């Protein structure tokens, strides 16, 4: 005798397979259930939309939405939140806004979750003002921001350089009693403040974290340790690592990678290798970032063949080399003076389909100059469609070193006219150089754009 499957039981089975990323099995459960006379409902379809958006892509989520409409089941706010989340996860920010507006035309009222994703989306698009407007529209929508809303606002403000806004929103929400900070909030604030250079404020927040009865976690420690290394307080960074270790927070590759990379940057390679050895002895597996640091260490030592072997090993371990791996290796080739090989590698990287190889190109331009091939560097520089402050600073700086001040000033003027800046010191060197060659009118042009 064949029993009819209840909708609730079917949905539990579908959700379990979706969680395990076994989407085909989830679909086959639905087919079997239909054969037995049980039809999927809005919960079944929402589970599928969410899984396809999360594990496959947004288009697959859309296909489920269409199937849902064909089955005459109306999508609800949860359906759209899954699609919004899928668009956000795959960095399709404009699509996210489109979907949000589509909710309106479908007569679906967005909830706090929908607004949170929309806020995140505007921050990622570099539009903090818009994000802030949405945040302030909550009241008129009869919605109350939740802790994720606040955390997203703080983090977004920091990421877009609105440090003051982040801190004042934090203080005002505390004063008004509309928000109680969580450990996550404190970590967002400490990270943002450290990165903005607001060290005193960061210390104060760390103090408040402890006074609120929270204990710093692995993320708090890694954030502070990273900041110490960045601000050249090396010993203090090591002390943070030790404290972290004593409190049992060095259980993953994050802490070891941070410390090892800091040693490598200081040229203390033996200690950097020792940290990785310690990590392996603890039974912690290296992830791609750890391997990338190791590739960099071999490159710093000039062991380019060893680095190349490691690239193959990474793939053998089932990991996929990323932009960082390839850029680090490319930089190693340049550092070892293997320019032709590096130029071939750069072409190879172009075929890998990364979003941008800007860092790799910057690296190539700088290293070519350093090995005395500034004309080759200039050719690459002129071919580059996207350039940033680093590209210009590197080119101008190296041309000045070769006393090619007129060429340097042309590059600098192009940079300033595009609204980008190079270090003030570099600009001064150009002006001084032009004066030394008697090129006073060219020097005036640069000085005019100085301010």
Binding site for DNA (CB under 7 A): 85, 88-89, 113, 116-117, 120, 146-148, 151-152, 155, 183-184, 187-188, 191, 217-219, 222-223, 226, 252-255, 257-258, 261, 265, 287-290, 292-293, 296, 322-325, 327-328, 331, 358-360, 362-363, 366, 389-390, 393-394, 397-398, 423, 425-426
Q: Closest distance between DNA and the C-beta of residue 180, in Å?
A: 13
Q: Closest distance between DNA and the C-beta of residue 287, in Å?
A: 5
Are 312 and 325 contacting, i.e. CB atoms less than 8 angstroms apart? no
Q: Closest distance between DNA and the C-beta of residue 66, in Å?
A: 22
Are 342 and 364 contacting, i.e. CB atoms less than 8 angstroms apart? yes
CA dihedral sign, ordered 210, 212, 213, 215: negative
**Cα 233 to chain centroid, rounded:** 25
- Rounded to a whole number of angstroms, the distance between the first and last alpha carbons of the chain is 86
Place of tokens 């290394």: 229
Region for residue 118 given its phi and psi (left: phi exceeds 0; alpha: psi -120 to 50; beta: otherwise): alpha
38 vs 391, beta carbon nearer DNA? 391
Q: Where are the alpha helices (DSSP H) in 160-303?
A: 163-175, 183-196, 199-211, 218-230, 234-246, 253-265, 269-281, 288-300
5 vs 190, beta carbon nearer DNA? 190
Q: Closest distance between DNA and the C-beta of residue 324, in Å?
A: 3
390 vs 414, beta carbon nearer DNA? 390
Q: Closest distance between DNA and the C-beta of residue 430, in Å?
A: 13
Give the SS3 label for residue 169.
Answer: helix
Q: Closest distance between DNA and the C-beta of residue 372, in Å?
A: 14
CA 122 vs CA 97, 101, 189, 323: distances in Å:
9, 14, 20, 26
26 vs 395, beta carbon nearer DNA? 395
113 vs 298, beta carbon nearer DNA? 113
4 vs 139, beta carbon nearer DNA? 139
Q: Closest distance between DNA and the C-beta of residue 364, in Å?
A: 10
State how far the Cα of 328 lies from the Cα of 333, in Å rounded to an integer.
Answer: 9
25 vs 428, beta carbon nearer DNA? 428
Region for residue 107 given its phi and psi (left: phi exceeds 0; alpha: psi -120 to 50; beta: otherwise): left
State how far the Cα of 322 lies from the Cα of 288, in Å rounded to an integer.
Answer: 8
């Amino acid at each position: 005798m064949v029993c009819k499957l209840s909708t609730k039981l079917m949905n539990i089975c579908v959700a379990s397979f979706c969680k395990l990323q076994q989407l085909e099995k989830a679909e086959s459960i639905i087919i079997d259930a239909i054969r037995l006379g049980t039809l999927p409902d809005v919960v079944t379809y929402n589970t599928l939309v969410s899984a396809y958006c999360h594990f496959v892509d947004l288009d697959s989520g859309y296909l489920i939405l269409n199937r849902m409409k064909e089955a005459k089941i109306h999508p609800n706010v949860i359906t759209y939140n899954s699609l919004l989340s899928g668009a956000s996860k795959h960095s399709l920010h404009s699509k996210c806004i489109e979907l949000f507006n589509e909710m309106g035309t479908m007569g679906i009222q967005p909830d706090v979750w929908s607004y949170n994703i929309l806020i995140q989306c505007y921050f990622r698009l570099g539009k903090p003002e818009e994000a802030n407007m949405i945040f302030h529209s909550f009241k008129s929508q009869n919605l109350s921001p939740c802790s994720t809303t606040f955390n997203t606002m703080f983090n977004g403000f920091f990421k877009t350089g609105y440090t003051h806004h982040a801190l004042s929103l934090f203080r005002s929400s505390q004063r008004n009693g509309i928000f109680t900070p969580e450990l996550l909030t404190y970590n967002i604030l400490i990270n943002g403040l450290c990165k903005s250079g607001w060290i005193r404020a960061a210390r104060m927040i760390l103090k408040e974290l402890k006074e609120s009865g929270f204990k710093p976690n692995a993320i708090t420690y890694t954030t502070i340790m990273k900041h110490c290394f960045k601000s050249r307080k090396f010993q203090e960074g090591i002390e943070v690592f030790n404290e972290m270790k004593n409190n049992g927070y060095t259980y993953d590759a994050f802490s070891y990678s941070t410390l090892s990379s800091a040693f490598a940057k200081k040229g203390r390679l033996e200690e950097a290798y020792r940290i990785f050895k310690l990590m392996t002895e603890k039974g912690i597996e290296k992830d791609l970032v750890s391997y990338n640091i190791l590739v960099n260490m071999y490159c710093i030592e000039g062991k380019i063949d060893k680095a190349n072997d490691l690239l193959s090993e990474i793939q053998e371990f089932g990991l996929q080399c990323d932009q960082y791996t390839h850029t680090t290796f490319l930089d190693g080739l340049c550092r070892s003076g293997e320019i032709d090989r590096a130029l071939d590698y750069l072409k190879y990287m172009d075929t890998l389909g990364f979003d941008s190889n800007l860092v790799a190109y910057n690296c190539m331009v700088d290293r070519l100059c350093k090995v005395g091939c500034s004309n080759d560097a200039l050719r690459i520089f002129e071919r580059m469609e996207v350039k940033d402050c680093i590209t210009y600073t590197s080119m101008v700086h190296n041309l000045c070193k070769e006393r090619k001040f007129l060429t340097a000033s042309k590059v600098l003027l192009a940079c300033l006219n595009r609204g980008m800046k190079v270090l003030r010191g570099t600009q001064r060197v150009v002006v001084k150089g032009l004066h030394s060659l008697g090129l006073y009118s060219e020097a005036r042009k640069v000085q005019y754009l100085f301010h």
